Structure 1
Amino acid sequence: MQGHSCCCKNESCSPLRGTGSSHGLEIISTDATTVEKASGESVKLDCRFTLAPEDSGSLDIEWSLRPADTQGEDKVVILYSGDRAYENYYAPLKDRVHFFSNDPKNGDASINLLALKSADTGTYQCKVKKVPGIHSRKVVLRVMVAPSKPRCYAEGASQVGKDVVLRCASSEGTSPINYSWERMTGTKLLPASAVMDPVSGTLSIRNASEAFSGMYRCTARNRVGTQECAVELNITPPPNTAGIIAAAVICVLLALIIIAIILFCCCRVRNRKKYEKEISYEIREDVPPPKSRVSTARSFTSVGSQRSSLGSMSPSNLHEYTNKSQYDKIPSDEYERPPSHAPLPPPVGPKPLGPNLSRMGAIPVMIPAQNRDGSIV
């Protein structure tokens, strides 16, 4: 009886034949169906098979990829058909996927994947067809990223009696990442009060003491790699609170003293300017005053008295009065000062009244002497 072929997508299968007939095409690979590799590495996906004499059709080999998200369709990544290999069939794996054997028809359809990337993660299926038989094999590939170099640092006040937390974290890496802490100095034993969290990468130290000081190392690891970092912990005594308060008080007092000195200097400068201004005003007051209005008024009063006295005289006696030189002129504002180089005129004393004026009852008037600016001497 002629055999019938079957196509299995999830499991390998053999062609069905009649009772007593021998088996034909068969995949004989026994390697693990799940492979984990680190990014940047290479991997061989095994797919070896055997043929039977009755499998007389052409040999076709096809490798396809179903992405890890299982949302997209299967993509053919490499082909062998008509005694020819088609390796650059899938653009994301161009020049990174090749058949392991130079002649796959000899029974080795395995492939090599080079320079793995995390996007290469998925389910790869090897399908071998030779009429009338079809067999397939699936291999799950997980491309893992090794942890990047973690960052170690201390969080919290590194003082005696305080709680300190040492943190360690890698920015890249395929989960799960496990973190572990160890002490590199002293007894190399973690403090008794220390609590380590391997998932978050923290090391909590309660009630720290100076004995806890030293170098600590953190190791981040996953299935494909490890990385390390170190941090130095220095526990210091608590600060001198009394000294800090005293220093603060001294600083405040010094600030107040400096402010007082500045204010004193400002007031002194302002008083000095005020004093100099008053002195300048006093110097201006020493300038000779203008013509005296009082002396002029008094002169006019005297002249008025003289005129009133003259008014009582008779016309017949006026010619004798007008002949007197001392009554010829009346002091006025138009009085011309003598030159600065000429000596002041001597004071003019009172002269006796003429006989006629005395008989008429005239009152003798003395004109006071005046200096250069018109003031009475």
Structure 2
Amino acid sequence: MASGLEITTTEQTVIEKASGQSVKLDCQFTLAPEDTGPLDIEWSLMPSDNQQEDKVQVILYSGDRAYEDYYEPVKGRVHFNSADPKNGDASINLTGLKSSDSGTYQCKVKKAPGIRSRRMLLIVMKPSRPRCYTDGPTQEGKDIVLRCLSSEGTQPLQYTWEKTSDNKLLPASAVMTINVKNASASASGTYICTASNRVGAEECILHLNITPPNTAGIIAGAIIAVLLILIIIAIILFCCCRAHHRKKYEKEICNEIEDVPPPKSRVSTARSFTVGSQRSSLGSMSPSNLHEYTLKPQYDKIPSSEEYDRPPSNVPLPPTNTAKMAGPNLSRMGAIPVMIPAQNRDGS
């Protein structure tokens, strides 16, 4: 059956847009006199999986009225481009694009007996929006890494670096990092990283300031190290002096102990006491008593310690023997001759 309805739009069938932007999906048509039925316009989102036959209606025009609340994810964001689509404009506008809006859209125009449709692919891409930062300490002599990363941008992404302080283009494109070896003060400046993809380009700015080494920290560390060394030396000297004084004290104590005379033994004291007593007794005895004293063997020996400790009351008295000892014997025993005046027997 012949039909005069035709879709006249011949623009691109693949549309790339960045998220957050707006897009117009064109669908222009013309009618013929034989197309006398009611006009129906239907926009639907085709499933990405070919095995799925169900499609989702996005917006609908039927009975001279627009129905825009069919698909919840795009509710309030999709509208017909013309207030009266009967004039041949079935295009729609989709605002506030999201990544979930990507897909194949179909425009279907029906006015009996004519039916025509057109499909187009919408790709919603994320902008680059890179972030600039540094890795490592920004000090002279250190290795620094300048990084530029777009975590949300849709691939493929390209990166370019530029140092605005001297208008120097740093490495070639598609480089996310710059390694600065043994950084010096000349590396300081303002760097711009530009990340771009098919939907646009974004940039970030990095201010790099190379600082001299932390001399205050080095000096403080050296002072602390010197103090620790001095404390260790002081502890060692204190221990050595204490050990030296201890040895000296022990040596003096030993010398004092050696200089103290040993105590006299009890036997020698008792012997000296006994011998002295014997001599005293012999000196005070008469010749007649000496003869009797020398005849007792018990007075010729040194008393034992037990006999020495015995009270004087237990010492046996010499026997009353009046035997006389010869003079030579007394002299040999160490007796001293004494002149005794003549006395009668009763007096002596």
Shift of 1:136: 0.8
User: What residue in structure 2 maps to residue 140 of structure 1?
Assistant: 121
| CA spacing shift, 1:25–1:260, aligned 2, 3 Å | same
Cα pair distance change 1:358/1:302, threshold 3 Å: farther
Q: Deviations over 1:76-126 (max 9, x none)?
A: 132426425443333333333333344444433222222211222222111
The TM-score, its normalising length taken from structure 1, stands at 0.58
- Displacement of 1:180 in angstroms is 2.1
Q: CA deviation at 1:163?
A: 9.5
Q: Distance in 2 between matches of 1:307 and 1:255?
A: 78
Give the Å deviation of 1:58: 3.5
The CA distance in 2 between the partners of 1:204 and 1:296, in whole Å, is 101
Match of 2:204, as an amino acid?
Answer: E
- Structure of greater Rg: 2
Q: 1:230 aligns with which of 191, 201, 206?
A: 206
- Of 200-209 and 177-186, more deviation after overlay is shown by 200-209
Matches within 5 A, 1:1-377: 3=1, 17=2, 23-66=3-46, 75-80=55-60, 82-83=62-63, 84-153=65-134, 166-186=146-166, 188-190=167-169, 196-202=171-177, 214-222=189-197, 223-232=199-208, 234=210, 259-272=232-245, 294-301=264-271, 331-332=308-309, 359=325
Specify the SS of the correspondent of 2:27: coil
Task: Note the residue ranges of structure 1 that are not aligned, 5 or more in a row.
Answer: 4-16, 18-22, 239-243, 322-326, 335-353, 366-377
| More helix, by proportion | 2
CA contact (8 A) 2:44 2:57 kept: yes
Q: In 2, distance between residues paired with 1:100 and 1:74? A: 26
User: For the structure 1 residues 76 and 68, does the alpha-carbon distance in structure 2 shift closer, same or farther, using more than 3 Å as the test?
Assistant: closer
TM-score by length of 2: 0.61
Aligned pairs, number: 295
Amino acid in structure 1 at the alignment position of 2:175:
S
Partner of 2:346: none
| Contact kept? 1:208, 1:235, Cα under 8 Å | no
SS in 2 for 1:197: coil
TM-aligned CA distance change 1:333 to 1:132, over 3 Å: farther
Instruction: Note the C-alpha offset of 1:204.
Output: 6.9
Give the whole-Å Cα distance in 1 for the aligned partners of 2:8 and 2:205.
46
Contact persistence 1:296–1:332 (CA under 8 A):
no
What is the identity, as a one-letter code, of the residue corresponding to 1:124? Y
Retained in 2: the 8 A contact 1:151–1:170?
no
Helix, strand or coil at the partner of 2:156: coil
Question: Kindly tell me: are residues 48 and 333 of structure 1, through their superposed partners in 2, closer, same or farther at Cα, counting changes over 3 Å?
Answer: farther
Task: Note the residue ranges of structure 2 that are not aligned, 5 or more in a row.
Answer: 280-288, 297-302, 312-319, 336-348
The alpha-carbon distance between structure 1 residues 184 and 77, as it changes in their structure 2 partners (threshold 3 A), is same
Flag the 1:267–1:212 CA change in 2: closer, same or farther, 3 A.
Answer: closer
What residue number does 2:282 align with? none
Q: Is the 8 A contact 2:164 2:192 kept in 1?
A: yes
- The alignment yields a C-alpha RMSD, in angstroms, of 5.3
**Residue aligned with 2:309, SS:** coil
Give the partner amino acid of 2:268: R
1:72–1:273: structure 2 CA closer, same or farther, 3 Å change rule? farther
SS of the equivalent of 2:100 reads helix
- 1:298 is paired with a residue whose SS is helix
